[in-house]
């Protein structure tokens, strides 16, 4: 691979910023569609669309109804894992494994924006990261990573497995066959099967989803193998390099708009003095692939600047980008379009709980300035950034007589700390900002990814304006390398008691 290659520079990497891991892509009817993992969040399995691989929009979600995914009680780290999206004869398919949920499920739709079917369970498939492919006769093959997720052999890894499946009933038609165990790196997973020219290609991820991650490939003349490994495996990896995008792996191939093969894959953008922490988690990137002697040669994953702005007025129903934890946003959030506010009613739960009254959106940029104006005259709530139920920072308000009590809180496993102050009664604006440490020589602050500032204000600048700066918290504890979850940062609104009204949500960053 040539680190000076610029053939993929036209793409705005990451093409899907923020918490968007395990991407899968398909081309259909002049457009491209990507789905990614969502774990314990509803709605699940976002569907993104592009016509040029440059501009992407979220057009829907596969899992919009509770019964489709059944993740209402899944532990952190489980839930919706690693989907594959495919298209055949006018029908879109998404196959996914939902550990501690329904197991392996196949969803279908004629319009990828939805609605999607309730899903057909592939009974008896014990593994993860399923792929779906058809041979020339129309036989459906499900190829998957043989990580045993239940039973006496829980945790055993059997390499890459494959079965024929009746997609109408979900019945497995044969005993699983072993295809390949990779090139000797740990955790062979994320298989995808392709027919190109005279060969069937079996592409996988291996090396683990951390710094050793990579993409490897093998080929054969039948979808059932045998497969011969590529001598240059892993043919795409960032391990032991200084590239700004690390952990590159879990790829899927598609023919791009110009006819060149593209690979979409996950990666992280680590920061800090030793580039040890990735606050946004695993994101979706793209690079280009050339074919030499019928083997893929991938170019390094490049990074480009993005400036997304996320300003939301609550004068219409919540769009597809809002998520809730183990329940749908519609269950807990109400929109008063006439007043332009969103209201949440607390039930005693907090962000420490499995089912908080929380609705949020992915943090899209490394540095972010986010805020919302709250009326807490009838309740308690605030603005928080969540990685999982053990790792979250928030700024919260409640009314106490003729004052508003504002509390900043940082919670990580086995540790929590609070800071409090007061502002005049009335609506207050809560702020949650993150930024990389300022360069001021070498020191401990330079080792972390970012600092999260939690503060509040009342009034308007130039008038009776008052600021309350409460805390600046090390952001490394809300990163892919320290949090228990496989997700990413989600910034959102929450209530713990009574009814809280939120007037708008803004998040701007680079």
For 344, other C-beta atoms within 10 Å of its C-beta total 26
Q: What value does the CA radius of gyration of the chain take, rounded to a whole number of Å?
A: 23
Catalytic residue among 22, 40, 388, 433: 22
Cα gap 271→276, rounded to integer Å: 6
Cα gap 97→319, rounded to integer Å: 26
What is the dihedral angle through the alpha carbons of 351, 354, 359, 361, rounded to the nearest 10 degrees?
Answer: 90
Cα gap 223→133, rounded to integer Å: 9
Tokens found for residue 251: 């790829």
Place of tokens 């990828």: 112
Are 286 and 250 in contact by the 8 Å Cβ rule? The answer is no
Tell me phi and psi for residue 366, to 5 degrees. Answer: -60, -55
Place of tokens 């979409």: 264
Are 386 and 492 in contact by the 8 Å Cβ rule? The answer is yes
User: DSSP state, 16?
Assistant: B
Residue 336 annotated in active site: no
Cα gap 495→382, rounded to integer Å: 6
Place of tokens 């939301």: 312
Catalytic residue among 131, 189, 388, 474: 189
Cα gap 48→36, rounded to integer Å: 9
Are 160 and 178 in contact by the 8 Å Cβ rule? The answer is yes
Residue 283 annotated in active site: no
Helices (H) and strands (E) in the chain, counts: 2, 37
Place of tokens 């005993």: 175
Are 394 and 381 in contact by the 8 Å Cβ rule? The answer is no
Place of tokens 């494994």: 97
DSSP 227-289: -EE-TT-SSEE-TTS--SSEEEEEEEEEE-TTS-EEEEEEEE--BTTTT-B-TT-SEEEEEEE
Cα gap 16→364, rounded to integer Å: 9
Tell me phi and psi for residue 447, to 5 degrees. Answer: -80, -20
Catalytic residue numbers, as ranges:
22, 189
């Amino acid at each position: 691979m040539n680190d000076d290659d610029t053939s993929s520079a036209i793409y705005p990497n990451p093409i899907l910023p923020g918490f968007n891991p395990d991407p899968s892509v398909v081309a259909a009817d002049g457009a491209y569609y990507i789905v990614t993992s969502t774990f314990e969040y509803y709605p699940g399995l976002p569907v993104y669309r592009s016509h040029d691989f440059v501009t992407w929009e979220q057009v829907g979600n596969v899992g919009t109804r509770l019964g489709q995914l059944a993740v209402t009680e899944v532990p952190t780290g489980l839930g919706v894992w690693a989907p594959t999206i495919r298209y055949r004869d006018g029908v879109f398919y998404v196959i996914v494994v939902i550990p501690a949920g329904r197991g392996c499920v196949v969803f279908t739709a004629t319009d990828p924006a939805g609605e999607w079917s309730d899903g057909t369970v592939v009974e008896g498939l014990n593994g993860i990261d399923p792929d779906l492919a058809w041979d020339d006769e129309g036989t459906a093959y499900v190829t998957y990573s043989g990580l045993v997720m239940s039973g006496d052999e829980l945790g055993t890894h059997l390499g890459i497995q494959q079965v024929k499946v009746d997609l109408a009933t979900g019945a497995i038609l044969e005993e699983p066959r072993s295809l390949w165990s990779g090139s000797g790196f740990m955790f062979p997973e994320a298989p995808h099967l392709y027919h190109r020219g005279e060969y069937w290609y079996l592409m996988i991820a291996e090396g683990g989803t951390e710094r050793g991650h990579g993409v490897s490939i093998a080929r054969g003349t039948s979808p059932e193998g045998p497969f011969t490994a590529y001598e240059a495996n892993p043919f795409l990896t960032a391990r032991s390099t200084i590239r700004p995008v690390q952990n590159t792996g879990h790829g899927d191939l598609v023919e791009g708009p110009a006819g060149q093969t593209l690979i979409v894959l996950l990666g992280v953008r680590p920061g800090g003095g030793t580039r040890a922490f990735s606050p946004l988690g695993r994101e979706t990137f793209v690079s280009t692939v050339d074919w030499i002697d019928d083997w893929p040669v991938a170019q390094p994953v490049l990074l480009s600047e993005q400036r997304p702005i996320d300003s939301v007025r609550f004068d219409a129903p919540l769009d597809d980008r809002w998520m809730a934890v183990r329940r749908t946003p519609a269950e807990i959030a109400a929109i008063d379009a006439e007043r332009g506010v969103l209201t949440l009613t607390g039930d005693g739960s907090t962000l420490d709980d499995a089912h908080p009254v929380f609705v949020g959106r992915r943090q899209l940029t490394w540095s972010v300035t986010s805020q919302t104006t709250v009326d807490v005259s009838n309740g308690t709530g605030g603005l928080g950034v969540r990685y999982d139920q053990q790792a979250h920072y928030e700024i919260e308000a409640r009314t106490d007589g003729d004052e508003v009590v504002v509390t900043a809180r940082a919670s990580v496993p086995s540790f929590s700390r609070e800071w409090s102050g007061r502002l005049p009664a009335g609506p207050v604006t809560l702020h949650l900002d993150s930024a990389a440490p300022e360069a001021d020589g070498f020191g401990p602050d330079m080792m972390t990814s970012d600092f999260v500032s939690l503060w509040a204000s009342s009034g308007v600048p130039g008038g009776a304006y008052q600021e309350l700066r409460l805390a600046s918290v090390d952001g490394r504890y809300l990163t892919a390398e320290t949090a228990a979850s496989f997700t990413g940062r989600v910034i959102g609104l929450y209530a713990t008691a009574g009814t809280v009204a939120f007037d708008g949500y803004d998040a701007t960053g680079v």
